[in-house]
Amino acid sequence: MLTIKKYANGRLYDTKNKKYITKDELAKLIKKKTKVKIVLSKTGRDITKTFTAQLSSKPKSKKNDRKIPKNIKKWIDENKKWFGDNVEKQIDKLLDVMNLPSKEQITKLTSSIESLSKKVKNLERVQGKK
């Protein structure tokens, strides 16, 4: 009998083969009539019946579900990038008009402050030794 440990984070561990498995892999094992026992890792409580019931009640995708054609996916991805780039440019322009620092300016300022802080600490250490 194959013992599967179910962890609190939802992961499943095959104790015989010493590896994690997915719910789909577990479902395939059960379909193959493999004897399986599923236990909670923390308590050791047997949850085989409830877990397998959840697997069998999982809604299956309909054959009529349509996939988005590749050319439309490409168009969507290109537009996401275009919108993202333009929104960022507009935000930078707005920050400039409002006389506020941009993200890059804040990053430079932060690194300058960190550098100066290190220098101050070194000076304090040197003066403390004198």
pLDDT digits 0-9 by tens, 31-88: 898 899 999 988 999 998 888 888 766 555 555 556 778 888 888 888 887 787 788 7
* 53: amino acid identity, one letter: A
SS3 70: helix
> For residues 111 and 59, what is the distance between their CA atoms, to the nearest angstrom?
52
Q: CA geometry: angle at 12 spanning 7 and 13, to 5°?
A: 100
pLDDT band for position 120 (cuts 50, 70, 90): very high
Closest CA to 53 of 85, 30, 32: 30
pLDDT at 4: 93
How far apart are alpha carbons 35 and 124 in whole angstroms?
Answer: 70
Q: What's the pLDDT score for residue 63?
A: 52
How far apart are alpha carbons 5 and 55 in whole angstroms? 16
- Percent of the chain at pLDDT above 90? 33
pLDDT of residue 123: 92
Q: Does residue 11 or residue 55 have the better pLDDT?
A: 11
- Is the whole model's pTM more than 0.75, yes or no? no
Which of the four pLDDT bands, split at 50, 70 and 90, describes residue 94? confident
In the DSSP assignment, the letter for residue 62 is P
CA distance 23 to 6: 10
pLDDT of residue 13: 94
